[in-house]
Amino acid sequence: MFVSGSSYSGQHRYGTIVSKKPIQLTWQTFRRCIPQAFHCSASGQPFWSMTIQENRLNQSNNELYLRWFQFLTFTPIFHINEKQISSFGRPGSEFYENVLKSIHLRYQLIPYIYSFVGQIRLNGSMLMRPIAFDYPNDRNTFDLIDQYLFGSAFLVCPVTKATVQCRSVYLPSGNQWFDFWNETFYDGQQTISVYSPLNIIPLFVKAGSIIPMTQSMQYVDQIVDAPYQIRIYRGNSTQFTIYEDAGDNYEYENGQFSLIDLIWNENRSELTISDRRGSFPQLIQQRDFHLICISKQRRITKTIRYSGKQIQLSF
């Protein structure tokens, strides 16, 4: 892995991660970093990152650091320069607990994120991208520079101003949306005011999405056979492919990886989990799947044991 502080056209050929450090830790700099990130991805460089150091901030800037940290949780590469969580204060303090919340969420989303990283290699897709890429017929998305898409499901809307409790969010047309935190349902093509205290980054999920998640860990393979939580956000038929490999070598280049298709049929209220395709020596042959089907009206949950063979479930 190569990490570079600079970037130029064609650099993506070398698998380089672009990692930036802000020149000034200010709200204005923070606002500029968001379009820089998704424009970098749109130019063919999918692995963008940024590092900020908590010790360069003072107590009065804790809010800025937290909001920046929430944004970085939804970037392709997530890393910080602090060696331990105690750098963020004492357990129980607002700053500490809210930073910890973002760290837990990032680890929970590893199956979703890693699957998209696999698709970057297999299909040349993008994890982080401008909203207009997916909604070219909605002119209201063309000038959005403080919202972006993260994978196929998430609309991420960082808070970029100090001491605010709400921010405006534009929900693109052609889809309906769920608030990730409380599962409130919204129609698209409207601007809404979203309550966003310090512990909340406004985050929406497109209706017709599947999000595989896992439990929070201290490192990504601490519990190799941890259950997957599969969230289905109803609204349209959809598909998601879970990608897995060893995670610590280059044998995926020789075909050592596996794929599991999750196919949701909206009309039949049916989820098909496909036969597993592919293998690698460290593959977990059986895993519990906790399924959560989320609609405008309710949640339905089921648990199954997946062993690599096709399963169909009705909700």
pLDDT of 56 over the 60 cut: no
- pTM (global) more than 0.75: yes
d(CA 172, CA 135): 7
Quote the CA–CA distance of 256 and 266 in Å, as a whole number.
33
**270-273 and 258-265: which strand pairing?**
antiparallel
Cα–Cα distance between 250 and 81 in angstroms, integer? 26
| 234-247 confidence digits (pLDDT tens) | 999 999 999 999 99
pLDDT tens string 105-158: 999 999 999 999 999 989 988 899 999 999 999 999 999 999 999 999 999 999
Domains within the chain, CATH numbers bracketed? 2-122 (3.20.20.80), 125-206 (2.60.40.1180), 209-314 (2.60.40.1180)
61 pLDDT tier (thresholds 50, 70, 90):
confident
Choose among 196, 215, 270, 214: nearest CA to 238. 270
Give the per-residue pLDDT at 58.
53
153-200 pLDDT tens trace = 999 999 999 999 999 999 999 999 999 999 999 999 999 999 999 999
Q: Which residues pair with 231 in a beta bridge?
A: 211, 292
**4 pairs with which residues across the strands?**
18
DSSP 8-class letter at 97: H
